[in-house]
Amino acid sequence: MPGKGLKDPLTNLMIDEEKCIGCGICVTVCPPNVTNDEIAAGKGPRLNDNVTLRIEDGKVKLVNPKSCNRAIPHAPFCSSCIERCPTQAIESA
């Protein structure tokens, strides 16, 4: 799981928890997340929802890198979370 200065090898995403404010924008715009209608409508994921990104204790966590479009071969390139993050807490390594 990526933290400050650490990149996730599957997705090349780097999450800086110092910068993250837990606004949840990344969770609401993440394409694999929004296959769930409730999450697409703004609700936070339930604990048993199979999601890519989740906010835990006020910080974003990449909980399931395998489901991220960036980790899926031949999937369209995705940088939704990076582009929408207001604090630049998520970056591409």
Partner 1 sequence: MDVESMDGLYEAFVCTGCSCLCDDICVRVKANRIEGLTNICSTGKDRLLWEEEKVKIKRPMIRTGRLEDVDYDKALQSAVRILLQAKRPLIFGLDSIGYMAQKIALDIAREVRGVYVSDNIVYSVPFYLEARKRGIHFASLEEIKDRADLVIFWGCNPLDSHLRLLSRFSVYPRGRFIERGIQDRTLISVGIDDKLSRISNLSIHMEPGTDQEVSEALRRLLLGDQIGSFRGDIEALEGMAYLVGKASYGVIFFGSGISEGTDARGNIKSLFSLVDSLNHRAQFVLFPMDNCGYNANGVVQLLLREVGSPLGADFSKDPLFKPGETELLEILDKFDAALVVGADPASTFPPGKVNLLERIPVILLDPFVTSTVSISDVVFPVAITGVEAEDIAYKMDGLPLKLKRIIDCEYPSDCEVLSDIYSRLRGNKN
Interface residues toward partner 1, by CB under 8 A: 20-25, 27-29, 34, 40-47, 54-59, 84, 86-87
**Backbone Cα Rg of the chain:** 12
Per-residue b/e over 18-31, b at no fewer than 16 CB within 10 Å?
A: ebbebbbbbbbbbb
- Residue 62 CB, nearest distance to partner 1 (Å)? 14
- Residue 73 CB, nearest distance to partner 1 (Å)? 26
Amino acid at 85: C
Q: Which is nearer to partner 1, 6 or 40 (CB)?
A: 40
In whole angstroms, give the CA distance from residue 21 to residue 35.
Answer: 24
Q: Which is nearer to partner 1, 47 or 74 (CB)?
A: 47
Q: Which is nearer to partner 1, 1 or 56 (CB)?
A: 56
